[in-house]
């Protein structure tokens, strides 16, 4: 790693497993090819720059258990040039990894707190490491609720894991925008903020972690404000274009913030202090 290019030079990793999630999203498990990756540890909420050699590099959040020792996973929605190219790879294919980068979720603040997790669509992927952590450290925190919304029942990510999360004492509330005819759906229908009336979470001693489309996070922040939550207790994870991940390419800037290194997780109060409206 001592070459001139080292900061921008990815380390090779191999696809060890491919887990189909939904019609446009897949989870890939990666292990590093050589010993270079042995020191790889990440915080929940951090991301990697993922390279498909010949196509390019994209910022992808890490979706696996931070304590899992053998590599890491990315849950990838195939909507961009790099993420579509990933679909052409198979087990054993080589990708490049740089990272982990960015600030994670404020896990140090969670101890003793109630936790409300609000996710939309692929936004559940960067929150899954926290759910693993909370499942493991369940006694260290108070009430834990997950509100998750997707377009249709078929678009729900990690559906096989909800019962496991419930067993760990995490309350899981689900909603979808549409229920196609002939589909059995016993949960809510409508936007994720519609679940606020059914949740137990109150502002008292609660930290909110949210990730999803910006329009969703905007209404989450507004809806929670109406219920007495303050901007200081809400944390959001933002998406921006990134070419470097380390505050050099400039592409992800919002005001004076580099989303790649000052974020992607921000306290909502921090965003409100910027001259431009973010959410």
* 269 forms part of the interface with another protein (CB under 8 A): no
Stretch that binds another protein, among 53-61, 143-151, 161-169, 264-272 (CB under 8 A): 53-61
* 96 forms part of the interface with another protein (CB under 8 A): yes
* 275 forms part of the interface with another protein (CB under 8 A): yes
Contact characters 155-194, another protein, x per CB under 8 A? ----------------------------------------
C-alpha to C-alpha distance for 75 and 54, rounded to whole angstroms: 21
CB of 55 to another protein, least distance (A): 6
* 244 forms part of the interface with another protein (CB under 8 A): yes
Identify the residue among 159, 162, 251, 272 touching another protein (CB under 8 A).
Answer: 251
Pick out residues in 202-231 that bind another protein (CB under 8 A). Answer: none
CB of 81 to another protein, least distance (A): 8
| Interface ranges with another protein (CB under 8 A) | 3-10, 12, 33, 53-58, 79-81, 83, 93-94, 96, 239-241, 243-244, 246-251, 253, 255-256, 258, 261, 275-276
């Amino acid at each position: 790693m001592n070459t001139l290019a080292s900061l921008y030079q990815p380390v090779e990793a191999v696809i060890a497993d491919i887990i189909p999630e939904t019609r446009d999203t897949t989870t890939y498990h990666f292990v590093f090819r050589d010993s270079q990756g042995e020191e790889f540890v990440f915080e929940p909420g951090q991301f990697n720059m993922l390279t498909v050699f010949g196509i390019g590099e994209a910022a992808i959040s890490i979706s696996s258990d931070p304590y899992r020792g053998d590599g890491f996973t990315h849950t990838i929605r195939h909507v961009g040039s790099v993420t579509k190219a990933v679909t052409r790879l198979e087990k054993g294919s080589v990708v490049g990894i740089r990272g982990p980068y960015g600030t994670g979720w404020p896990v140090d603040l969670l101890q003793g707190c109630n936790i409300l997790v609000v996710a939309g669509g692929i936004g559940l992927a960067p929150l899954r490491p926290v759910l693993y952590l909370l499942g493991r450290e369940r006694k260290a925190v108070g009430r834990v609720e997950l509100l998750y919304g997707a377009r249709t029942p078929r678009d729900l990510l990690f559906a096989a894991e909800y019962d496991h999360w419930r067993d760990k004492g995490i309350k899981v509330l689900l909603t979808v925008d549409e229920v196609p005819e002939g589909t059995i759906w016993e949960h809510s229908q409508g936007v994720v903020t519609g679940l606020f009336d059914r949740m137990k979470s109150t502002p008292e001693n609660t930290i909110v972690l949210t990730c999803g489309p910006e329009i969703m996070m905007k209404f989450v922040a507004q809806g929670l404000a109406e219920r007495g939550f303050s901007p200081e207790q809400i944390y959001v994870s933002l998406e921006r274009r990134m070419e470097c991940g380390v505050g050099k390419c400039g592409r992800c800037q919002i005001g004076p913030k580099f989303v790649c290194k000052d974020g992607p997780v921000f306290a909502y109060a921090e965003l409100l202090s910027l001259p431009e409206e973010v959410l």
